[in-house]
């Protein structure tokens, strides 16, 4: 007998055992060997017999034999009643038979109907000699009817059965020997034992069941459910494919190989973890022990894995799950999702740990590989362009979106993201509500490659590196570099190799720039160059080089704060605008306070255009005056734009035209015109003046001096104020006023300190 014959139990018992054989046997027995009537029949009977026996042989072998403890036929009726019925149906070799037993049965000859209202038991494959080698298939039911012409059998009552692989039950059943199709009408339940000891059985439940023996197929309608341990698969219009396998000892067994269902869903429960899956069309492939090897979902396919710390969901047009077998359990190894695939990893609240962002990965095709044991994700790879979204779960978290090709996400313990990489990448970061109040804008980046590292405890982004043509744009702030690294803890971006930043106030170039995204402050290192546009409102310009042209600067290091409102240049700093320059070890600009501070080896080199004088007689317009250069050297300089005052300290040297002034401190006032034109300069402390006049050099000393550019006037003050010309003539007084351009000198004294003069006549040359 075939191993799948367990599903024919009700059919064979009802049809072959009860109806057809008994009916034909009765007719032949009545004709060929009617039982003797030793005494008159009871009223109403036309025939009766005790311990009645009939059999049939063909081609020298027994086909069947029928025994009944009581045989009765009613007068004027086509019905024959049998009691203690035993029917044996022999196989072709006569070595085994199917045994059908019933306490009572009836046969009606006018409509060819055989019926047993009581219990019927069917045993398949009983050996003709000796004991059976394994558990035989047996079926128990009642209310069985049979059409002997077609062999179709039917019952509406509950039936139970035992077979080599297990046992089952159903309510109502029918069997058609022509099509070899068995129908279990309702409340179907099969308990399928595993091949190996201690392996988990499979339970099959359905609204109704159709078994097609010729195709080794079971149809579960309108719904069906397969349960193995803590794994359950349920759906509509289920199809189960069977296969006969041969064991090592030669014994043949029928095993489950595949289950298909529509609108299906399943669940597998493990310690601290639950896996759910669903699809409009679901296919499950089993090994010979009923352990799932693959699960394939088509149309609206999804997989959800719940752990103590996260919920991971996979959705796609198609999802394939691949399993290995470990200790009689299906172990998930790999997930392949294609067609609008989305993987969502949502963190669950864990006491003592802040909630991280929800991660959503989407692509047309992606593959997920599991760690050993199948409980945790090892990595996810996209086989098409993908998008990774970080969705905030706390007000302090930003929404981030990463797009790129060839994405690889590596996971750590408890399904937390450990690292990420992709090519042709772009990112988009949305500021928090609080950051938007502080004027933070949407930040966009791009690069040829991107890698990211995440905090293993929280799955929060820790660091991100982008290489190859990196770009950054946030509102009017922009950056470019070969490489960029983001430190998420400090929210600082490090730009490396040909780094450049710019906004509507200017640009900065450097080998390396560190940008603080929270404040907009940045530091540039390694040889910096910058270009800054003048303020649109000239009154807000805060440096000595104010004008219409961009201000160029360079230094070893540059620090910018308050969105370029406060700037420091450190190390060989140079600022220039046109021909004007400021040089120092350090230059600090504060555009809000409107100050410039320079320290260490300070040099200011300024050119101003003097006002044009009146035209000469006969000229309509005076020719333009020549520009005048003013150079100052000092250790320190402080310039305040409010009073247009530059204060040099620490030992100052100032040169203008042929005039040089040295002092401990010097205050230079720039003209109110808004440019760098010198208006006046006051020097204090050990003042020395040198005038390299064509008429001959003059030197002056004093404690205080004043220079007025418009009048070309120098004033020296102090008890020892003195001017000495090239001939040696000396003038001393409390105040000396000198006009270098026309060689005039005015000397003022006091009663206690009279003017002193010593004039040396120049010798005439010998004739």
Domain presence at residue 96: yes
Please name the residues in contact with 425: beta carbons below 8 A apart, sequence gap of 6 or more.
Answer: 402, 403, 404, 446, 447, 448, 449, 450, 466
**How far apart are the C-alpha atoms of 163 and 161, rounded to whole Å?**
7
Domain presence at residue 245: no
Quick one: pLDDT band at residue 619, thresholds 50, 70, 90?
low
Claim to verify: residue 634 and residue 749 sit in the same structural domain: yes
**Which range has the top average pLDDT, 177-186, 326-335, 629-638?**
629-638
Claim to verify: residue 521 and residue 658 sit in the same structural domain: yes
Phi first, then psi: what are they for 21, rounded to 5°?
-65, -45
Phi first, then psi: what are they for 22, rounded to 5°?
-60, -40
Q: Which pLDDT tens digit goes with each residue over 567-588?
A: 999 999 999 988 889 999 999 9
Claim to verify: residue 1 and residue 99 sit in the same structural domain: yes
Please tell me the predicted confidence (pLDDT) of residue 5: 35
Mean per-residue pLDDT, 218-225? 92
DSSP string, 356-384: --EEEEEEEEEEEEEPTTSSSEEEEEESS
Q: How many Cβ atoms are within 10 Å of 179's Cβ, its own excluded?
A: 11
Which helix (H) or strand (E) is 199 found in, with range? none
Claim to verify: residue 581 and residue 456 sit in the same structural domain: no
Q: Which pLDDT tens digit goes with each residue over 467-496?
A: 999 999 998 889 999 999 999 888 899 999
Please tell me the predicted confidence (pLDDT) of residue 273: 76
* Residue at which a domain ends, from 145, 165, 187: 145
The structural domain count of the chain equals: 3
Q: Which pLDDT tens digit goes with each residue over 696-755?
A: 788 999 999 999 988 888 999 987 788 888 778 888 888 889 887 777 878 775 545 555
Claim to verify: residue 490 and residue 586 sit in the same structural domain: no
Please tell me the predicted confidence (pLDDT) of residue 551: 87
Nearest to 117 by CA among 99, 105, 101, 100: 105
Nearest to 734 by CA among 754, 715, 749: 749
Claim to verify: residue 653 and residue 754 sit in the same structural domain: yes
Quick one: pLDDT band at residue 766, thresholds 50, 70, 90?
very low
* Residue at which a domain ends, from 505, 530, 545: 505
**How far apart are the C-alpha atoms of 691 and 700, rounded to whole Å?**
8
CATH number of domain containing 103: 2.60.450
Please tell me the predicted confidence (pLDDT) of residue 188: 93
**How far apart are the C-alpha atoms of 464 and 299, rounded to whole Å?**
36
% of residues, the chain, pLDDT over 70:
85
- According to DSSP, residue 28 is labeled H
Please tell me the predicted confidence (pLDDT) of residue 235: 93
Please tell me the predicted confidence (pLDDT) of residue 27: 46
Strands (E), 626-675: 628-640, 645-656, 659-670
**How far apart are the C-alpha atoms of 206 and 216, rounded to whole Å?**
17
Residue 416 structure tokens: 């937390």
| Greater model confidence, 136 or 684 | 684
Residue 543 has pLDDT above 70, yes or no: no
Mean per-residue pLDDT, 240-249? 81
Phi/psi-derived region of residue 64, left when phi > 0, alpha when psi is between -120 and 50, beta in every other case? beta
Taking the whole predicted model, whether its pTM rises above 0.75 is answered as no
% of residues, the chain, pLDDT over 90:
35
Please tell me the predicted confidence (pLDDT) of residue 653: 95
Claim to verify: residue 500 and residue 521 sit in the same structural domain: no
**How far apart are the C-alpha atoms of 193 and 599, rounded to whole Å?**
91
The alpha carbon of 704 is separated from its chain's Cα centroid by a whole number of angstroms, namely 72
Nearest to 600 by CA among 569, 645, 640: 569
Please tell me the predicted confidence (pLDDT) of residue 673: 64
CATH number of domain containing 694: 2.60.450.10
Check: CB of residue 432 under 8 Å from CB of residue 441. no
Q: What is the mean pLDDT of the chain?
A: 82
Q: Which pLDDT tens digit goes with each residue over 98-131?
A: 788 889 988 777 776 778 888 888 787 789 888 8
Domain presence at residue 549: yes
**How far apart are the C-alpha atoms of 706 and 514, rounded to whole Å?**
46
* Residue at which a domain ends, from 102, 129, 145: 145
**Token pair 């940045």 in the structure block, residue:** 522
Residue 547 structure tokens: 């004008």
Claim to verify: residue 567 and residue 644 sit in the same structural domain: yes
Residue 271 structure tokens: 């310690």
Q: Which pLDDT tens digit goes with each residue over 379-409?
A: 999 999 999 998 998 898 889 899 999 999 9
Residue 19 has pLDDT above 60, yes or no: no
Mean per-residue pLDDT, 422-438? 90
**How far apart are the C-alpha atoms of 11 and 240, rounded to whole Å?**
19
**How far apart are the C-alpha atoms of 339 and 420, rounded to whole Å?**
22
Residue 631 has pLDDT above 90, yes or no: yes
Residue 52 has pLDDT above 70, yes or no: yes
| Alpha-carbon dihedral sign for residues 294, 183, 201, 254 | negative
**Token pair 């003022």 in the structure block, residue:** 748
Residue 73 structure tokens: 């036929």
Phi first, then psi: what are they for 231, rounded to 5°?
-105, 130
**Token pair 């026996």 in the structure block, residue:** 53
* Domain extent at residue 397: 343-505
**Burial track 379-408 (b if 16+ CB lie within 10 A, e otherwise):** ebbbbebbbbbbebeeeebbebbbbbebbe
Domain presence at residue 240: no
Please tell me the predicted confidence (pLDDT) of residue 183: 87
Domain presence at residue 328: no
Claim to verify: residue 442 and residue 528 sit in the same structural domain: no
Claim to verify: residue 569 and residue 635 sit in the same structural domain: yes
Nearest to 713 by CA among 705, 725, 722, 701: 705
Please tell me the predicted confidence (pLDDT) of residue 6: 32
Quick one: pLDDT band at residue 20, thresholds 50, 70, 90?
very low
Residue 539 has pLDDT above 60, yes or no: no
**How far apart are the C-alpha atoms of 113 and 244, rounded to whole Å?**
35
Residue 762 structure tokens: 């120049």
Claim to verify: residue 568 and residue 490 sit in the same structural domain: no
**Which range has the top average pLDDT, 407-416, 540-549, 606-615, 752-761?**
407-416
Is residue 68 packed enough to be buried (19+ CB in 10 Å), middle (13-18) or exposed (0-12)? buried
Claim to verify: residue 452 and residue 563 sit in the same structural domain: no
Mean per-residue pLDDT, 438-442? 85
Please tell me the predicted confidence (pLDDT) of residue 386: 93
Quick one: pLDDT band at residue 643, thresholds 50, 70, 90?
confident
Angle (nearest 5°) at CA 345 between 341 and 346: 135
| Greater model confidence, 763 or 231 | 231
Please tell me the predicted confidence (pLDDT) of residue 15: 31
Peptide bond into 222 cis (omega under 30): yes
Q: Which pLDDT tens digit goes with each residue over 328-378?
A: 777 888 999 999 999 998 888 777 777 788 889 999 999 999 888 877 889
Domain presence at residue 726: yes
**End-to-end CA, the chain:** 156
Domain presence at residue 212: no
- According to DSSP, residue 3 is labeled G
Domain presence at residue 247: no
Least confident of 24-33, 643-652, 698-707: 24-33
Check: CB of residue 99 under 8 Å from CB of residue 136. no
């Amino acid at each position: 007998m075939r191993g799948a014959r367990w599903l024919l139990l009700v059919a064979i018992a009802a049809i072959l055992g009860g109806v057809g054989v008994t009916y034909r046997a009765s007719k032949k027995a009545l004709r060929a060997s009617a039982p003797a009537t030793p005494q008159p029949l009871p009223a109403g009977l036309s025939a009766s017999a005790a311990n009645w026996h009939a059999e049939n042989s063909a081609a020298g072998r027994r086909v069947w034999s029928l025994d009944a403890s009581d045989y009765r036929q009613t007068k004027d009726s086509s019905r024959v009643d049998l009691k203690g019925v035993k029917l044996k149906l022999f196989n072709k070799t006569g070595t085994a038979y199917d045994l059908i037993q019933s306490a009572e049965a009836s046969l009606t000859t006018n409509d060819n109907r055989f019926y047993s209202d009581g219990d019927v038991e069917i045993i398949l494959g009983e050996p003709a000699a000796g004991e059976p080698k394994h558990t035989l298939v047996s079926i128990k039911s009642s209310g069985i009817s049979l059409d002997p012409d077609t062999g179709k059998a039917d019952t509406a009552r509950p039936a139970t059965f035992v077979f080599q692989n297990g046992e089952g039950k159903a309510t109502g059943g029918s069997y058609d020997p022509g099509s070899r199709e068995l129908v279990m009408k309702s409340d179907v339940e099969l308990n399928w034992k595993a091949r190996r000891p201690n392996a988990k059985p499979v339970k099959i439940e359905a609204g109704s069941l159709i078994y097609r023996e010729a195709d080794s197929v079971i149809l579960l309608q309108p719904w069906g459910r397969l349960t193995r341990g803590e794994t359950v698969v349920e759906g509509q219009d289920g199809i189960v494919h069977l296969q006969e396998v041969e064991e090592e000892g030669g014994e043949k067994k029928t095993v489950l190989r595949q289950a298909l269902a529509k609108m299906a869903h399943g669940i597998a429960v493990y310690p601290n973890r639950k896996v759910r899956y669903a699809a409009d069309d679901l296919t499950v492939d089993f090994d010979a022990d009923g352990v799932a090897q693959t699960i394939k979902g088509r149309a609206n396919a999804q997989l959800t894995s719940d752990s103590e710390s996260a919920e991971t969901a996979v959705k796609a047009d198609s999802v394939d799950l691949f399993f290995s077998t470990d200790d009689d359990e299906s172990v998930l190894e790999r997930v392949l999702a294609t067609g609008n695939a989305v993987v969502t990893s949502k963190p669950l609240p864990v006491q003592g740990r802040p909630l991280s962002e929800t991660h959503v990965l989407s692509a047309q095709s992606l593959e997920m590989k599991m760690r050993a044991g199948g409980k945790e994700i090892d990595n996810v790879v996209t086989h098409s362009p993908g998008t990774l979204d970080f969705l905030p779960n706390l007000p302090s978290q930003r929404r981030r979106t990463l797009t790129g090709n060839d994405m690889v996400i590596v996971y750590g313990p408890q399904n937390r993201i450990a690292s990420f990489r992709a090519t042709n990448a772009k990112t988009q970061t949305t500021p928090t509500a609080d950051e938007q109040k502080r004027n933070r804008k949407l930040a966009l980046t791009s690069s040829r490659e991107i890698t990211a590292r995440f905090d293993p405890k929280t799955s929060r982004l820790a660091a991100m590196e982008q290489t190859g043509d990196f770009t950054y744009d946030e509102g009017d702030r922009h950056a470019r570099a070969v490489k960029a690294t983001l430190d998420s803890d400090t929210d600082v971006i490090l730009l490396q190799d040909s780094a450049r930043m710019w906004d509507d106030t200017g640009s900065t170039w450097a080998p390396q720039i560190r940008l603080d995204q929270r404040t907009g402050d940045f530091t540039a290192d390694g040889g910096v160059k910058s270009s800054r546009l003048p303020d649109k409102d000239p009154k807000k310009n805060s440096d000595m080089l104010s004008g219409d042209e961009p201000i160029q600067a360079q230094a070893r290091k540059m620090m910018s704060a308050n969105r370029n409102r406060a700037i420091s240049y450190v190390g060989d700093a140079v600022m220039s605008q046109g021909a004007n320059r400021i040089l120092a070890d350090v230059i600090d600009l504060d555009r809000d306070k409107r100050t410039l501070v320079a320290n260490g080896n300070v040099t200011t080199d300024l050119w101003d255009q003097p006002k044009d004088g009146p035209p000469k007689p006969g000229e309509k317009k005076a020719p333009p005056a020549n520009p005048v250069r003013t150079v100052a050297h000092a250790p320190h300089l402080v310039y305040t734009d409010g009073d247009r005052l530059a204060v040099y300290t620490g030992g100052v040297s100032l040169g203008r035209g042929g005039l040089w002034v040295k002092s401990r401190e010097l205050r230079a006032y720039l003209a109110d015109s808004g440019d760098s034109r010198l208006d006046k300069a006051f020097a204090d402390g050990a003042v020395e003046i040198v005038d390299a006049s064509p008429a001959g050099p003059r030197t002056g000393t004093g404690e205080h001096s004043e220079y007025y550019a418009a009048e070309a006037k120098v004033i020296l003050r102090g008890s020892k104020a003195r001017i000495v010309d090239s001939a040696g003539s000396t003038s001393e007084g409390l105040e000396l006023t000198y006009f270098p351009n026309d060689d005039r000198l005015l000397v003022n004294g006091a009663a206690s300190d009279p003017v002193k003069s010593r004039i040396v006549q120049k010798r005439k040359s010998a004739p």
